[in-house]
Amino acid sequence: MWFEIIPAFSIVAVCLAIPHVAVFGLNKLVNGNAFRRDTVERYDRIFYQRDWRITGNPYQPTGLDAIPNEE
């Protein structure tokens, strides 16, 4: 019957979900945070570099107090 496909579907679904869960843990282990920025587009890379220059760590949000004042 139709329900005989449920075990095979479950195995495939779990195998496809493992990389998404593993990336969360690997980023936490390697980068110190659980998320990774997407830098595929040119503007995303520019914003990442801007945040790195201003704060030193683009993954920790900061406000305007992180930008140094000009003299």
**Three-state secondary structure string covering 28-69:** HHHHCCCCCCCCCCHHHHHHHHHHHHHHCCCCCCCCHHHCCC
CB 26 within 8 A of CB 18: no
Q: Vertex 65, ends 59 and 69: CA angle to 5°?
A: 120
Would you state the pLDDT for residue 44?
81
Residues in the chain with pLDDT < 70?
Answer: 36-38, 61, 66
Would you state the pLDDT for residue 13?
96
Would you state the pLDDT for residue 66?
66
